[in-house]
Structure 1
Amino acid sequence: MQYEELKERVTMGEEFQFYYQNESYWISKNQRGFYLTRVSDSYSQSFLTADDLFKNATIDGKSIHNLWDEIDI
């Protein structure tokens, strides 16, 4: 999957689990917003829109876009 496809599908409401450096992460959505959650300790970042998530969510201080080549979906 390409990064732009992930963004589009999350914007449409799909949820995804992915792996980065042997850690599991979950992108999810509910009525209040979008979330990036590290599964191991439930650390979560919340955002009002999918666009906000992709612009502002970080893992190890880096955006999902910057880590894309290292992410396994």
Structure 2
Amino acid sequence: MDDRQLAQLSRIFKTYDKDGSGGVTFAEWVAMKNYTLSSDQEKREKGWYDQADANGDKKVTIGEWIDWKSSQ
């Protein structure tokens, strides 16, 4: 991943991290969607969130998110 891609992912992450805590909660994750999630969509998003949350602390850090996005 090049510097431009990392900068883009950092900007995107900051829009997810509404409270500026450095970690994205699941509520922040789904709030970025421009539509109401069905239960199936929420389960899919939760699965992706759990994959991204590598240490299982219920917050996805920028490092975890970049690692997850890089593995896609």
> Do they fold alike, i.e. is TM over 0.5?
no
Q: Which has the higher helix share?
A: 2
Q: Could you tell me the TM-score, scaled by structure 2's length?
A: 0.31
Q: Could you tell me the TM-score, scaled by structure 1's length?
A: 0.31
Q: Which has the higher strand share?
A: 1
Indicate the structure whose relative CO is greater, using CA pairs within 8 Å and at least 6 residues apart: 2
